[in-house]
Amino acid sequence: MKPVSIDITHIPFSRYGAYLAVTRDMDKDGTHTAKALTIQAVRRRFEEGPMFSLSFGTEEAEDFTCSAAPEALTVENEHGSAVIWLRDDDTLAVESRGLDLRLKMLHYGYGTACGENTFHLISATLGLHSLIAVEQGIPSTDGPIRTYEDNSVRDHKTNLVVRCEDGKALFALSVHSREPRPISLPILREKETDAIRREWEAFLALLPDGDTAGDFERVTWFNLWSCFVRAEGNYPNDTMLMSKKMMSSTWSWDHCFNALAMAHLTDGAAAKRIAMDQFSAPFWQQTPMGVLPDMWNPDLETRWGTTKPPIHGWCFGLLMDRFRFDRDALTEAYCRLERWTRWWTEHSDSDGDGIPDYPQGCDSGWDNSTLFDGGYFMETPDLPAFLVLQMKTLARIAEELKACHPDFEGKAAYWNGEAEAMLARLIAHSWNGERFVAKRSGSHEYEDQPTSLLSLMPLVLGDLLPQEIRDKLAAVLERDFLTENGLATEMPDSPKYRPNGYWRGPIWAPSTYLIVDGLRRGGYGNLARTVAERYCAMSAERAKGNYENFDALTGRGLCAPGYTWSASVYMLLHWEYAC
């Protein structure tokens, strides 16, 4: 089987189920790599940095080259080499030949020896326990040493040096929340990495392209496989994170794109199960009123107060196109989507005009889009469009259920009617004859010439939009937003355009896929293909990785490497458009 080579400056090194990952950063101009690896603890709060650095050389960090396959990461320089792998979900191992190792905790904490060649470190910042067992080598701790206000001096003992003994060093690091857990010994590199390789090859066999997949597709498939974590705490099922670097959590719309990608696995039963596990992820925390959390991780953090846009009906409709669902599954999906829909129509319509609003940009997923420069509680045109699609999916589910479930008699007609009424209100309220605008709830003030791609998102409605409106939106899209790399989120000639301005310019995967799908259903197949092909070429040839977003004019990857919704959208467009 053709090997897969991973550049860990683009994709974190990890494995399915693991709560640890290893990365290496580039300098700010992207020309040199750091002289240390970083060990990411996935169990952490959002925006907290890596847990450890790992460098090679006792007195000072030495430079090294780095290569990675799915089962192991190899470091080399003129003095020796080291192999790093993930023994299980919580444990990393390092075997070195000739390289002394320095492990440094990057957060405030304290440590102690707790047995022969065994150390217990506590990160007070992250709330995590680490155990380190040195099977071979000469370990010592060397600080950091800090002076406190009372002039006391304390050695925190969170920096560990392991010098080679008889030319070799071997240790394991295990990280847990709540309590430390013992490390199993001995460490058996060949046996353990062989098992990882077999796990990866089993997942690779589920890739629809099989042996014909190119190098970038296989690396992207690894990106998806390696971002799963095992079921724990708030995750009742194995769940794909956004990344195992900074964005090691799940948000209440990103999971939809990952669900759609997993629906393409060649094993139909596995495809349905894994796709539905990803789709269902936020609904385990849905409130009685229907709202979903903004983001959450297994057990350290769940964020409320903001949420994410209701693309879930659109997503489940696409899953219904691929799979047949039994009565129980459809009933569950109906109840979840109905509560989610009513949250928006009944509890997020501040002025009661029938057009729901986003309290702020984060609720839309487009955090700082220029449509939200108008203030808070904005009635942007994407929200009613998504709700129309969600209502249509509710009608479709009800139609399937009514034959075996008398309570659903008449509900299909009800939701179809609600969808038609919402679409009519959207056009009457937000269409100015040339484009859709965003209005401030209550006052209905608006900017007549919006420059954000978000104003074109009603294209997701496809042929549900009147032809005249579709034609005008498609023309604006192609003229004002389409670059050589895909769809900019802000018009490049807008004075508000910023190359790295988050949603004020860069290309994003979710907006790309939603619009491509709407163009296809709306009869603009050629334009949909152009957008898809440019996105794929940008990811594979210019960015050489799946980033949170991309420079719309250069194609360079910007934030958060190894981002799964970008990887999922790349694979979906690759399969659908052979690009």
pLDDT tens-place string over residues 234-276 = 899 999 999 998 889 999 999 999 999 999 999 999 999 999 9
> Band of the pLDDT at 531, cuts 50, 70, 90?
very high
Alpha-carbon distance 458 to 475, whole Å?
14
Query: Using an 8 Å Cβ cutoff, are 171 and 93 in contact?
Result: yes
The pLDDT value given to residue 192:
98
Residue 111 pairs in a beta bridge with 121
Residue 407 pLDDT greater than 90, yes or no: no
Alpha-carbon distance 453 to 188, whole Å?
53
Backbone φ, ψ for residue 273 (5° rounding): -65, -50
Most confident of 24-38, 296-310, 411-425: 411-425
Alpha-carbon distance 118 to 88, whole Å?
19
DSSP tag of 213: -
The pLDDT value given to residue 150:
80
The pLDDT value given to residue 26:
77
First to last CA, the chain: 23
Lowest-confidence pick of 93-102, 202-211, 323-332, 336-345: 202-211
Q: Please compute the mean of the pLDDT values over residues 522-551 and round it to a whole number.
A: 96
Lowest-confidence pick of 16-30, 75-89, 90-104, 418-432: 16-30
Alpha-carbon distance 326 to 37, whole Å?
48
Task: Spell out the residues 6+ positions from residue 202 whose beta carbon is closer than 8 angstroms to its own.
Answer: none
What is the SS3 assignment for 505? Answer: coil
The pLDDT value given to residue 32:
65
Alpha-carbon distance 162 to 296, whole Å?
36
Backbone φ, ψ for residue 82 (5° rounding): -145, 145
DSSP tag of 27: -
The pLDDT value given to residue 1:
60
Residues of the chain with CATH 1.50.10.10: 304-577
The pLDDT value given to residue 235:
92
The pLDDT value given to residue 419:
98
Amino acid 306 reads T
> Band of the pLDDT at 31, cuts 50, 70, 90?
low
Q: Please compute the mean of the pLDDT values over residues 76-90 and round it to a whole number.
A: 96
Q: Please compute the mean of the pLDDT values over residues 301-311 and round it to a whole number.
A: 95
> Band of the pLDDT at 179, cuts 50, 70, 90?
confident
Backbone φ, ψ for residue 421 (5° rounding): -70, -40
Alpha-carbon distance 176 to 536, whole Å?
38
pLDDT above 90 coverage of the chain, percent: 85
Q: Which two tokens stand for residue 544?
A: 């050489």
Query: Using an 8 Å Cβ cutoff, are 13 and 69 in contact?
Result: no
For residue 431, what are the CA distances in angstroms to 146, 207, 385, 464, 469?
63, 43, 12, 15, 9
Half-sphere exposure of 249 (CA within 13 A, CB side): 21
Alpha-carbon distance 394 to 411, whole Å?
8
CB atoms within 10 A of CB 102: 20
For residue 17, what are the CA distances in angstroms to 237, 389, 399, 565?
11, 34, 38, 18
Q: Please compute the mean of the pLDDT values over residues 325-338 and round it to a whole number.
A: 96
99 alpha carbon, distance to own chain's centre: 35
From the options 3.50.50.60, 3.30.70.1230, 3.20.20.150, 1.50.10.10, give the CATH code of 304-577: 1.50.10.10
Distant-in-sequence contacts of 536-539, Cβ < 8 A, 24+ apart = 536/570, 536/573, 536/574, 536/577, 536/579, 537/485, 537/579, 538/485, 538/486, 538/507, 539/216, 539/566, 539/570
The pLDDT value given to residue 228:
98
Task: Spell out the residues 6+ positions from residue 213 whose beta carbon is closer than 8 angstroms to its own.
Answer: 207, 221
Residue 115 pLDDT greater than 90, yes or no: no
Cα torsion angle, 366, 369, 371, 373, sign:
positive
Pairing mode of beta strands 52-56, 65-69: unpaired
> Band of the pLDDT at 3, cuts 50, 70, 90?
confident
What is the SS3 assignment for 507? Answer: strand
Q: Which two tokens stand for residue 452?
A: 């954000």
Residue 461 pLDDT greater than 70, yes or no: yes
Residue 145 pLDDT greater than 80, yes or no: yes
Query: Using an 8 Å Cβ cutoff, are 264 and 208 in contact?
Result: yes
Residue 154 pLDDT greater than 80, yes or no: yes
Residue 48 pLDDT greater than 90, yes or no: no
Pairing mode of beta strands 159-163, 295-296: unpaired
Alpha-carbon distance 238 to 70, whole Å?
19
The pLDDT value given to residue 211:
65
Q: Please compute the mean of the pLDDT values over residues 390-416 and round it to a whole number.
A: 92
The pLDDT value given to residue 29:
62
Residue 91 pairs in a beta bridge with 174
Q: Diameter of the chain by CA atoms?
A: 79
Backbone φ, ψ for residue 189 (5° rounding): -55, -55
For residue 149, what are the CA distances in angstroms to 18, 146, 152?
40, 10, 7
Query: Using an 8 Å Cβ cutoff, are 308 and 291 in contact?
Result: no
CA angle 498, 501, 507 (to 5 degrees): 90
Alpha-carbon distance 458 to 511, whole Å?
11
